[in-house]
Amino acid sequence: MATIRVGLAQLNVTVGDVDANAAAVLEALREGCELGCDLVVTPELALVGYPPEDLLLKDGFIEDAAVALGKLAAASPACLGVVGTALAAASGLVELAEPTDARGEALEGVGTAHRGSANAAALVGAGRLHGAVAKRQLPNYGVFDERRWFAPGTGPSFVYEVAGAAVGIAICEDVWIDGGPAAALAAAGASLIVVLNASPYSRGRLEDRRSMLKHRSAETGCAVAYVNLVGGQDELVFDGASFVLDAGGRLLAAAPQFEPTLLVCDLELPDATGAVSLAELSEPRPTRAPIAPPVIARQLDPIAEVYEALVVGTRDYLHKNGFENAVIALSGGIDSSLVSVIAVDALGPECVLGVSMPSRYSSEHSRTDAFELAQRLGMRCVSAPIESAHAALSSVLDGVLGGVPAGLTDENLQSRIRGVVLMGISNETGAIVLTTGNKSELATGYSTLYGDTAGGFAVIKDVVKTLVYELCRHRNERAIARNEPPPIPESIITKPPSAELRPNQVDADSLPAYELLDPVLIAYVEGDKTAGELIADGNDEALVERVVGLVDAAEYKRRQMPPGVRITAKSFGKDRRLPITNRYGAPWRP
């Protein structure tokens, strides 16, 4: 039997910051070697960041990645590193399928970076580049567009001898296919499959990964070492949670969620026979320092997991885009309270400014709640009453319309005044405006363009209203468990939700109760059910028609909203791309 020590480098990298990413990879390789690792594996495309999107269509970007890889290889320590990167077919390191048109005929003159590049795992160590393996299965669903950017790998399935063990290399989607590349690696003699991943977080995704890889381990008879990215990239959050399974599918080691780390694990594997040799790197070490027993990090509970994703996604979006401070409209309501707590946990209270902007309709308890929340969080809160602006703009519209605006026009006017105030503060201070709309509101159009939707980042745009309440209770319970005062006043959680844009207004005046609304929204938006299917499932017909009509009519609004953290398998954005002009299944629309 061979003993191989594997290090899984769970990294937080930034798309396009190739030199900084290379430095982080090199540091992980060196740390792994110091700990006696024979093999250190990074996540998918760690060198260029994931997803690089149409940067991959720039020949210069691929060339810069190749230069960085060459420098990394030259500086690499003695152990074998498997580094995720993008490689051009012209490099000679990868074999790719020829680009073809819809009829399967070869395309002439296709640029290097346009379907002539690979999502690859490069093998480095002992100061040189040894080769590369190209991803074969290219996902093209949800947030993935890899067939736009890459050509699939071809050629034989190579298995490498490392420390006397036979190791196969796969990249993310390659292991999700029954009888696919992983099975081919096992047939070629692999006893360990290392998998490089950039698998975005969504609720329940970790259980899916572990279940699938236990199945893959059973299919192949191989141990599996799975390494994943961590951190935020635009709307995506990567949760890490790297892990190692033995050949029987038993969990041997697991890294924490959402935290950069190096997970190290020793594996006992059959001796390699007939593998492609990397002799200068793969000799078993006669002696090395023992390591602590493998760590199996505690998995966060479902609500804590969502909360941490929101914090990490917010922190990385701001910091990676050069923002140090945030400004939030503090209404004293549940949504702005949750966004404020997330922002403080992500950035620190000194970096978050709350602005209370009462109108003639704002209740005294809402103003009090807003300042109480800010005090508990240790963040600054200022008051900017909008009554004078409201009166002035109403007068302007009166001159145009021949009457003082009322109803929805007046409600939206207040919201837009608040948006102007926040954006003015943003312009003057450089702080980014965090919007406070939740998924239930954005889905149904219960939001004001250029008002409460105005801002740079929508923290809870993928969080339905009922989940907002669960997250607030979770954050308070977490504080109590730490003997800290709960940050969100109970009065904010218990009062009926209201935009307070007219006397005695509550959300239920305009929307179904959230307990009824959210399940229908989830089934329609995330489950892609039609109205007819929802009714056939037993939902009230009037409720379904009302909700579906609201969602479809608000598509044009959502196209104009800022990005926000994705925590479900189908958020508004790249996951869900529907036409604005659309009459399908909606006879009640005009």
Name the residues annotated as catalytic.
Answer: 44, 135, 172
* Nearby residues of 491 by Cβ (< 8 Å), 6 or more positions away: 365, 369
The rounded distance, in Å, linking the Cα atoms of 79 and 193 is 17
DSSP letter (8 states) at residue 579: -
| Alpha carbon distance, N-terminus to C-terminus of the chain | 72
Q: Which two tokens stand for residue 333?
A: 């309501």
How many CB atoms are closer than 10 A to CB 559?
11
- Which residue from 543, 492, 549, 470 is spatially nearest to 513, judged by alpha carbons? 543
- Which residue from 223, 305, 233, 314 is spatially nearest to 265, judged by alpha carbons? 223
Residue-wise DSSP of 405-445: --HHHHHHHHHHHHHHHHHHHHHHH-PEEEE---HHHHHHT
Alpha helices by DSSP H, listed for 243-301, are 279-282
Total residue length of the chain: 590
Residue with tokens 């209201």: 498
- C-alpha distances in Å from residue 581, one per residue of 527, 560, 578, 589, 590: 21, 15, 9, 11, 11
